[in-house]
Amino acid sequence: MTSKDHFIFYGWDTVELARKFGTPLYVLSETAIKEKCERIREGFLKKYPGTKAHYASKAFLTLAMCRIMAREGMGLDVVSGGELQMAREAGFPLDKVSLHGNNKSLSEIEMAMELGVGTIVVDNAMELEVVIQMAEKYDRRQDILLRISPGIDVKTHKYISTGHAGSKFGLPAFGEEIETVEEIAVSSELVNLRGYHFHLGSLLYERESYVMAVDVILDRVSSLKERHGQIIEEVNIGGGFGIPVMPGDRSPDITEFTDPVMERVSEKCTARGLKVPVVSIEPGRWIISQAGITLYTAGFMKEIPGLVKYISVDGGMTDNPRPALYGSKYYAVNAERYGEEKNEKVTIVGKCCESGDVLVRDIDFPRMKPGEIVAVLNTGAYNFSMASNYNAALRPAVVLLGDNTAEVIVRRQTYEDILRGQFVPDHLSE
């Protein structure tokens, strides 16, 4: 088999990568990441001066990714002390970091204060009290955004819909609670209420949802000005911008979401005599998802006549739990015979002891042999972040592809890593 038959990913032979680094293997293209960041700069940041873009690190975060985002001029959203520590260790400018989360621990809020995190996105009334107390302790005035649940239902899976009225995230956009929290924030000299934040969900393709949410948020901006004379400086519309999942799916440009939002912000602020705020976005999956693939080695195969043919691979729900969690769909290719006729329908399954460990269902594939390489596409987002050691499986390595280099940025786990931190009590040691 010659390399011309192999699946090539951003100039790299995926079969050669699998042979060199082993499988399962996460593969990321730095070129693809930079291309997405360039689209954000050209279609949003340069087009609308004064805007901001923060990378949503929950999608995929490593020390190397922090460095890439810093070089690309992006801010960084973190949701835990671990992500914040990673940003710190990578030398990411902490004044460009926002701390999110609906239940930040006291230690995480304190860590943010100690490190000088630029913005804390306050989720609820109790958290605001803690942030004020910590700001007093560290003798600083902390910039905050209030996270608002605008009450917008969107067309996506319920597990990744976050802006509806019953969401666990944020303050309801209407009612006594939000007004009370606003009043506390405005009256405190220890926090600076810069603005509002919302996030509607993930894998959204309808720009109308963002425009509707902006209407709700600008109503709050107007109300705050009328009641307290407070001028809001920033509105963060979150992320969740849709990407193509399967071949032939539409690939929305960032402008399909941001242009209508910016038009509405300008229109409504002019009509109400409001200062046009800084508008921020938080793309995560939109930047990283298509930049990544996962390589597997095919193992045993099993055909149940008239029902299904299974191809088992050496990974599964431990490195990609999303199909089992909420039915996420993926597309795969035979990396060794990429151009050959797809002459059989197969289901690609993992090796975990779970019936739900299915990566790709009912896909047309060239006839495969054990030992050949399977590439699952569009796995840059959330797969590495959500990976686990279920069944004591080892987490895969991560390889970053440059123009001329392929380098490990996260090494493959070892059995020693699995056992690290475990202890046997004395009474079991005999």
Q: What is the CATH number of the domain that holds 295?
A: 2.40.37.10
Residue 429 lies in a domain: no
Q: Does the annotation count 66 as an active-site position?
A: no
Residue 226 lies in a domain: yes
* Sequence-ordered alpha helix ranges (H) in 195-276: 207-228, 255-272
pLDDT along the chain (430 residues), means of 10: 81 98 98 98 97 98 98 98 98 98 96 98 97 97 96 53 62 91 97 96 86 93 95 96 90 94 96 95 97 98 95 98 94 95 95 96 95 98 97 98 97 97 92
Alpha carbon of residue 285 to chain centroid: 5
Distance from C-alpha of 207 to C-alpha of 205, rounded to nearest angstrom: 6
Distance from C-alpha of 87 to C-alpha of 85, rounded to nearest angstrom: 5
Residue 430 lies in a domain: no
Q: Which helix (H) or strand (E) holds 125?
A: helix 125-137
Residue 125 corresponds to which amino acid?
A
Q: Any residues with CB less than 8 A from the CB of 180 and at least 6 apart, and which?
A: 125
Same domain, 336 and 272: no
Residue 424 lies in a domain: no
The whole-number pLDDT of residue 164 equals 46
Same domain, 310 and 408: yes
Backbone phi, then psi, for 239, in 5-degree steps? -135, -130
**Pair of tokens at residue 190:** 């220890």
Q: Any residues with CB less than 8 A from the CB of 61 and at least 6 apart, and which?
A: 78, 83, 86, 385
Same domain, 365 and 272: no
The whole-number pLDDT of residue 166 equals 61
**Pair of tokens at residue 392:** 């004591």
Residue 120 lies in a domain: yes
**Pair of tokens at residue 268:** 């409504």
Q: Which helix (H) or strand (E) holds 185?
A: helix 176-187
Please classify residue 252 by burial: count the beta carbons closer than 10 Å to its beta carbon, then call 0-12 exposed, 13-18 middle and 19+ buried.
middle
Distance from C-alpha of 65 to C-alpha of 409, rounded to nearest angstrom: 9
Residue 259 lies in a domain: yes
Same domain, 283 and 320: no
Distance from C-alpha of 87 to C-alpha of 400, rounded to nearest angstrom: 18
Q: What is the 3-state secondary structure (H, E, C) of 339-383?
A: CCCCCEEEEEECCCCCCCCEEEEEEEECCCCCCCEEEEECCCCCH
CB burial of 324-339 (b: ≥16 within 10 Å; e: otherwise) equals beeebebbbbbbbbbe
Distance from C-alpha of 173 to C-alpha of 152, rounded to nearest angstrom: 10
Same domain, 166 and 19: no
Distance from C-alpha of 5 to C-alpha of 63, rounded to nearest angstrom: 34
- Residue range(s) defining the domain that contains residue 46: 30-287
The whole-number pLDDT of residue 248 equals 87
Q: Which of these three, 287, 320, 350, is where a domain ends?
A: 287
Which single residue is written with the structure tokens 């088992």?
Answer: 312
CA distances from 278 to 275, 292, 314, 341 (A): 9, 31, 47, 52
Residue 426 lies in a domain: no
Exposure on the CB side of residue 286, measured as CA atoms within 13 A: 29
pTM score, whole prediction: 0.94
The whole-number pLDDT of residue 153 equals 66
Same domain, 205 and 306: no
Which residue in the list 66, 269, 352, 353 is annotated as catalytic? 353
CB 242 within 8 A of CB 205: yes
Same domain, 159 and 282: yes
The whole-number pLDDT of residue 4 equals 73
Same domain, 12 and 105: no
Same domain, 270 and 402: no
Q: What is the CATH number of the domain that holds 161?
A: 3.20.20.10
CA distances from 351 to 139, 206, 300, 316, 419 (A): 53, 37, 10, 6, 21
CB 48 within 8 A of CB 258: yes
Same domain, 357 and 390: yes
Same domain, 101 and 75: yes
Q: Which of these three, 287, 311, 330, is where a domain ends?
A: 287
Q: Which helix (H) or strand (E) holds 410?
A: strand 406-410
CB 201 within 8 A of CB 162: yes
As a 3-state breakdown, the chain gives helix, strand, coil percent values, each rounded to 5, of 35, 25, 40
Q: Which of these three, 226, 259, 287, is where a domain ends?
A: 287
Q: How many domains does the chain have?
A: 2
Distance from C-alpha of 135 to C-alpha of 176, rounded to nearest angstrom: 25
Same domain, 244 and 299: no
Which value, to the nearest 10 degrees, does the dihedral of the CA atoms of residues 32, 101, 241, 397 take? Answer: 30
The whole-number pLDDT of residue 159 equals 37
Residue 427 lies in a domain: no
